[in-house]
Amino acid sequence: MNLVALLSLCDDTQRTIKFGSVLSSLLVLVLIVGLITGCSGGGQNVVQSTPAPTPSPTPRPSLTVTSVSTSSPTPLTPIQIGTTGLSMNSPLLVQFSNSAGFSASEQPVRVAADGTVIAAVPLYIDPASNQITQGTVSLVLSQGGNSSAPVSITVQELPTVASYGTQLGEITRAMLNFEAMTLGKQVNEFQAFQVLPGNKVDTSGAQTTLKNLMLAIIKSRNDVDRIFANSSVTISAGALPDGTPIQFDQTSVDMMDRVLGVYLTELAPIIMPSSGSPTGSLSGQATAASLINNRHSELRFGHATSGGRIPRLGQKSPIVSQVRSQAHRGRNASSAASSNIKSVLSFLESANNVAGVSKAIQDFGKKDATFFDKALAVAGGVTNFLILADNGGISKVAKAVSPALGAFTASYGLLKNLGNELGDLAFIMVASRNGTDPSVLQEAQDDLNKNAHEAIFNTIEAELSLTDAGAVFGAFGKDVVKAIENGGAGAALQSAEFITTIFHAASDAEDDALATTALSAAGEIQSPFSANTQGFAEITGVANITNDQGPIFAALPGIQLAPLDNGDSFALADPAGNYDMFVPLQATNTNYLDLTLSAIDPVSGAMLAFEVVNLGGLTTSTNRVEPTLTGTCSDTDASSPDSDDPDCD
């Protein structure tokens, strides 16, 4: 077929083409191919082709709120927002607003894999009166240029102190006592590891970090004690950059109570038994009924523990028995456990329940991320209130500064406490006892390691270090820390040390070092001990220390057992004087037949009472109840502190 014949494949196309060179020939071949592929009949010009139309971009799905977990949420609690059209890789803003002028915008606590947005319900502050109350708002999600249609919800008023049936300061005092006892227990754990035969991990730095925070909390409670005793007391904490005074007063304590009340109500089903009343003997002694005598018995530790059933650990361990009592509490918790805050407070203030609370939190958090949502929602929900008190160094509403200081202090402290709970070593120590199934110890090791690498740790650290990444405490948190560290005439807030100690622990990487030390110490125990004369035993008892200022200003007694090698063992007793202490066995350079058990003032270190005790027969299979320590603390200036109260002068 010649060229003309090829061209004639298109009906009315007849061309004359001259060949002049090899290059021309190549061009003609290209032309032929183009002509053939372009021929489609109908008299079209085969040399010219019409470009295909550009396809229209696929429209982006509209961002839609499909559901909310409740239309009348309590402030400072998480709300779950079902969505469609959400991009998982783009920033998201959650907005609450209404026509009255209320507006609160925040980043979500987290976004679940299915697109559910978890957000903190803000405090509703009436724009006209600047009072915390109830209000109806529109909930809108915004992402890029895409916004959801508004959904109406009614934010309830933050429950009042009176609604809990408590006195001003009662909730906060109990929470501070619990936080101090938790830290005292962790000091004891690191001390016990330090003198354990064969240990290669230096825990002294971790002990110092925990002791400093424990003492700061003890002193912080004195601020609350003073207002608990006299609601007209006002304590200076410096000033904001614009000169607005920062004062700690009854409105600060009121807000602390209300913030912590919400959190503890959320926590109750996790830590409380189904009866709604505290478990465990307040005397610290394990009862026979609470023990598992059959070493093949099966029991789940904490209702959320995965991997299942745990055989007997220690035959007569108060920690074991009260950890056991936490089992199944979440599924079966009665509504009374959530509503009766006094039962929760009593439960938290028992030394025998401290380890069990840690274990319950660890277990629940392992299987259910919503627990962390509850804690982060408390901090995130106060953000708009803190902005009201201080927006870029300028107080918008001066009278909001004192309650904002209370909201900040309470939520700041509970986030720190949550981080400490997740790194607790008590279960490792109990699981290492002779006779324990090795898989139980391995599970405890795995859990501790997983907790140390959870994203929640990074989130908490970002918030506590007041970095821009967290931002829930905003300018207010930064300015409070700055004002405290600058000091100033008349500044007397003992909670100042509490705030700055937490801040520096997070920003100076002390928290990272603490987690690393816990993992390293736990790693020293690769299998259960081969005899009940090895590992970590426990002793319990009571310190009956009276205070000349009465029970309101009485500090929690410190309990000290010494000498153990080149150190000691320390525990913090509860308000009733009960204590529970780990004692390392077979410590070198230690005469267990002649040890001194003392009640001390944890602030000044003054000895208040002592007994010489013989622990020669102590094993992990026995529960020793030591003689009662009786003494008196004289603290003549507790109601007018000298920067180290409560202490025994």
CATH (domain of 154): 2.60.40.10
Residues 151, 172 within the same domain: no
Neighbours of 1 (CB within 10 A): 7
What integer is the mean pLDDT of 12-27? 38
Domain contains 648: no
Residue 87 has pLDDT above 80, yes or no: yes
For residue range 528-576, what is the model confidence (pLDDT) as tens digits?
Answer: 999 999 999 999 999 999 988 888 888 899 999 999 998 899 999 999 9
What is the per-residue burial (b if ≥16 Cβ within 10 Å, else e) of 511-539?
beebbbbbbbbbeebeebbeebebbbbbb
Strongest mean pLDDT among 47-61, 385-399, 460-474? 385-399
Q: Residue 604 is part of which domain span?
A: 536-633
Residue 205 has pLDDT above 80, yes or no: yes
pLDDT score recorded for residue 452:
75
Any idea which residue has 């057992």 for tokens?
561
Contacts of 597 (CB under 8 A, 6+ apart): 541, 559, 560, 561, 610, 611, 612, 613, 626, 627, 629
Residues 152, 190 within the same domain: no
pLDDT score recorded for residue 207:
96
Q: Give percent of the chain above pLDDT 70.
A: 78
Residues 348, 291 within the same domain: yes
440 alpha carbon, distance to own chain's centre: 25
Residue 522 has pLDDT above 70, yes or no: yes
Domain contains 57: no
Question: 169 or 548: which carries more pLDDT confidence?
Answer: 169
Residues 9, 99 within the same domain: no
CA pair distance 62, 269, nearest whole angstrom = 38
pTM, two decimals, is: 0.82
Last residue of a domain, one of 128, 158, 188: 158
We report the CATH number of the domain holding residue 620 as: 2.60.40.1120
Q: Count CA atoms within 13 Å of residue 194 on its CB side.
A: 20
Domain contains 641: no
Question: 89 or 614: which carries more pLDDT confidence?
Answer: 614
Neighbours of 338 (CB within 10 A): 18
231 alpha carbon, distance to own chain's centre: 30
Residues 151, 180 within the same domain: no
pLDDT score recorded for residue 639:
60
Residues 515, 603 within the same domain: no
Domain contains 570: yes
Residues 489, 364 within the same domain: yes
Chain-wide mean pLDDT for the chain? 81
Which phi and psi angles does 625 have, rounded to 5°?
Answer: -105, 115
Question: 299 or 23: which carries more pLDDT confidence?
Answer: 23
Domain contains 312: yes
pLDDT score recorded for residue 641:
63
Residues 219, 288 within the same domain: yes
Q: Two tokens at 460? A: 């908490």
Question: 625 or 334: which carries more pLDDT confidence?
Answer: 625
Which phi and psi angles does 321 have, rounded to 5°?
Answer: -65, -40
Residues 119, 255 within the same domain: no
Residues 448, 493 within the same domain: yes
Comparing C-alpha atoms, which of 252, 190, 261 is closest to residue 220? Answer: 252
Beta bridge partners of 611: 597
Domain contains 362: yes
Domain contains 588: yes
What integer is the mean pLDDT of 186-208? 95
Residue 42 has pLDDT above 80, yes or no: no
Strongest mean pLDDT among 25-29, 42-46, 324-328, 595-599? 595-599
pLDDT band of residue 644 (cuts 50, 70, 90) is low
Residues 330, 462 within the same domain: yes
What integer is the mean pLDDT of 264-272? 89
Q: Angle, to 10 degrees, between the axis of helix 354-367 and the axis of helix 438-452?
A: 70
pLDDT score recorded for residue 359:
87
Question: 216 or 281: which carries more pLDDT confidence?
Answer: 216
Domain contains 629: yes
For residue range 342-393, what is the model confidence (pLDDT) as tens digits?
Answer: 999 999 999 999 998 988 888 887 778 788 899 899 999 999 899 989 887 7
Residue 435 has pLDDT above 60, yes or no: yes
Q: Two tokens at 50? A: 């019409």
Total structural domains within the chain: 4
Residues 14, 143 within the same domain: no
Residue 282 has pLDDT above 90, yes or no: no
pLDDT score recorded for residue 15:
39
